[in-house]
A and B are shown apart, each in its own frame.
Chain A
């Protein structure tokens, strides 16, 4: 099941692994710089200021990024995670990921105006569509039941408020 990386994909992954090292290094730099830019605190107590630990963590990230780059240079590769429903070997299906992100963001944008029962239903339907489900009517039914059902569960059963949006007065 684990596929031996072939020549070209190894090289390609090698390049993107340098990207990870770069990301870690940039993050480390950000931590150190932002810690050094912290203004003097007037209410600070104790000898260790707010900047000390960020500098240490930033330093750790910088060191790790160097070691990771060295590791990649010597041929080390991070192994993509396997799993129950995962078939590695083929490329990454960016289209599905992008569609999922769209469904996810539309929920974030619509939860205020529409309320959770509908925005959640849109989220579920959108994700099912993105993942390849083509039972449109059945999906809509399931999505609505989940949206409305979870709203009732949280609001009535668990005393946690969720936005009701345009369904106010109906639910």
Chain B
């Protein structure tokens, strides 16, 4: 097969001693930073982005592959040992993982997470290698109008993530798009939103935006609400699994892979939905359903595998269409384009060495993850005890360092604080960060596609509507109008497993006090309206998005 020979060449690129070293370094740094409380995968990638500035592009991307997987795994470790997930994809891991840890089975939870991530990551990367060239071939055919439509779909999908307020998602998207507009317009050479400030003419560096929103915003927000009591960390030995643990884990790993990869590959707003689906599936299929809620190993194995598989799946639209579906992928897109390379359908033809080297290093990163993280788990657990004063001081220190190093410009440091303040405000008022970061990074690309499409059609707006793009716009309209559309659907039409996933998400959000602007009601046994008082702590606006909510009976 063609893909296999290309992949072999990719390994030849990635396995040079120099590149291999950077891949391992990436995994190590990614895990070390990602395991720190308060730092999610996207922030890990953003903080470590400047480190790769001095490297050549292939090596930099190979290091990124390691950071990507390392940061992902680090987040899971945190949620298992602390029970307070920093980001939505780890919410499910925390449910059973922390229960296991409390029952003295932290080592087994970490082991099934690590091995499950390896298994799922390997299979999903293989799937990526097989699927991506085909998708790229198809994508070469599609016109700027179609690409613009897919980008609009990506925008709308990330603003309508399950369980968050839709109007706030759109607000966040608008903020991101506005930031992305700042600077000289490439087509007309005119300055937009620069207000005569020379430093803004080139636009705001994506590193500054990402580090500002994620790192500085997070540090300021946490500092304003810092928990002054010491936090309980569960000690952990070397991860190992008994025969019965293996027996109960391998099927969830495989099922998680199957659930995670396709969800990652479509712009559906990240890993939250598939991880919950996996959790619910495992609960249904388990021979020990009574253990769920008390620390069932299946409940860690499945979602963790799903998380990693969807991370690999997310690289399909990123590499073939240039469209990121998660915040982490968005930062990766920014990293790739900072080298003057535009990810898209032609990438496989124009930069085969780079693409296949990157895919090969995903395999290497995955293996390194397993080899490094099983023995190093006790060390990572100790990182969780770092004094919070030093942790957040360190985040601000490295955020400043990274933002300054990107362009050696003092102005960026002031900008960083302003964007950090924006990130603070967004956290305060429940505006999700993902749409903003996607808007900043993808917005300029979308504008270019739009202009090209209209140039091809001589300015006729009708030129935006081609058969494929019409289908995409119909999907966009369905997502936007879902609360209305659902009323006309028969109640049975919604998949029961989705209903249960929605329920679990609500429970978890409730439990962790995460973004509970969630609007999924409890299962109500009677046909009456749900008891608003017993509902979530967060009062809900009627405008809130309720994508998966078949149990709503208060019509």
Contacts and interface: CB of A to CB of B under 8 A. Distances in A.
Contacts of B165: 71, 76, 78
Nearest to B53: A160
B121 interface: no
Interface in A89-134: 90, 92-94, 96-97, 100-101, 103-105, 107-108, 111-112, 116, 120, 123-125, 127-128, 130-133
B86 interface: yes
A47 B454 contact: yes
Contacts of B410: 108, 111-112
Contacts of A159: 54
Interface string B216-227: 101111111111
A18 to B, nearest CB: 11
B177 interface: yes
A10 interface: yes
B381 to A, nearest CB: 14
B235 interface: no
Contact of B188 (A27, A41, A83): A41
A97 B223 contact: yes
A43 B188 CA distance: 6
B388 interface: yes
B537 A74 contact: no
Contacts of A162: 401, 404-405, 408
Nearest to A1: B513
B513 A2 contact: yes
A61 B189 CA distance: 25
B159 to A, nearest CB: 10
A86 B226 contact: yes
Given A54-B193, A84-B84, A120 B390 contact: no
B24 interface: no
B188 A3 contact: no
Contacts of B542: 71, 74, 76
A150 B454 contact: no
A120 B396 CA distance: 10
Given A47-B455, A68-B167, A105 B417 contact: yes
Contact of B430 (A2, A43, A49, A80): A80
Contact of B540 (A17, A27, A76, A158): A76
Contacts of A125: 393
Interface residues of B, number: 99
Contact of B181 (A57, A85, A96): A57
A128 B389 contact: yes
A82 B430 CA distance: 10
A155 B551 CA distance: 59
B544 interface: yes
A70 interface: yes
Contact of B390 (A31, A34, A133): A133
B269 interface: no
A46 B451 contact: yes
Interface stretch (B168-176, B271-279, B292-300): B168-176
Contacts of B389: 128, 131-133
Given A127-B396, A131-B226, A158-B51, A31 B181 contact: yes
Nearest to B427: A81
Interface of B is mostly: helix
Given A1-B512, A2-B537, A76-B539, A124 B394 contact: yes
B393 A127 contact: yes
Interface stretch (B259-267, B487-495, B514-522): B514-522
B400 interface: yes
Nearest to A89: B225
Nearest to A44: B188
Interface string A29-61: 011001100110101111111100110011011
B66 interface: no
Contacts of A132: 226, 228, 389
Most chain B CB within 10 A, of A43, A47, A58, is at A47
Interface in B329-350: none
Interface in A64-79: 64-65, 67-68, 70-72, 74-79
Contact of A123 (B400, B429, B447, B536): B400
Given A74-B541, A108-B410, A86 B222 contact: yes
B538 A79 contact: yes
Contact of A76 (B37, B431, B518, B544): B544
B123 to A, nearest CB: 31
Contacts of B404: 111, 116, 162
B439 to A, nearest CB: 9
Contact of B225 (A17, A58, A86): A86
8 contacts: A2-B512, A76-B542, A79-B538, A83-B86, A93-B223, A124-B396, A131-B223, A159-B54
Interface of A: 1-5, 10, 16-17, 20, 24, 27-28, 30-31, 34-35, 38-39, 41, 43-50, 53-54, 57-58, 60-61, 64-65, 67-68, 70-72, 74-88, 90, 92-94, 96-97, 100-101, 103-105, 107-108, 111-112, 116, 120, 123-125, 127-128, 130-133, 142, 146, 150, 154, 158-163
Closest 8 CB pairs of A and B: A76-B541, A78-B430, A2-B513, A47-B459, A127-B393, A71-B541, A108-B413, A84-B37
Given A27-B178, A75-B539, A108-B410, 19 more contacts: A20-B429, A53-B450, A60-B170, A60-B173, A71-B543, A76-B165, A79-B517, A79-B518, A81-B221, A83-B222, A84-B85, A86-B222, A87-B227, A87-B228, A104-B396, A107-B413, A108-B417, A127-B396, A131-B226
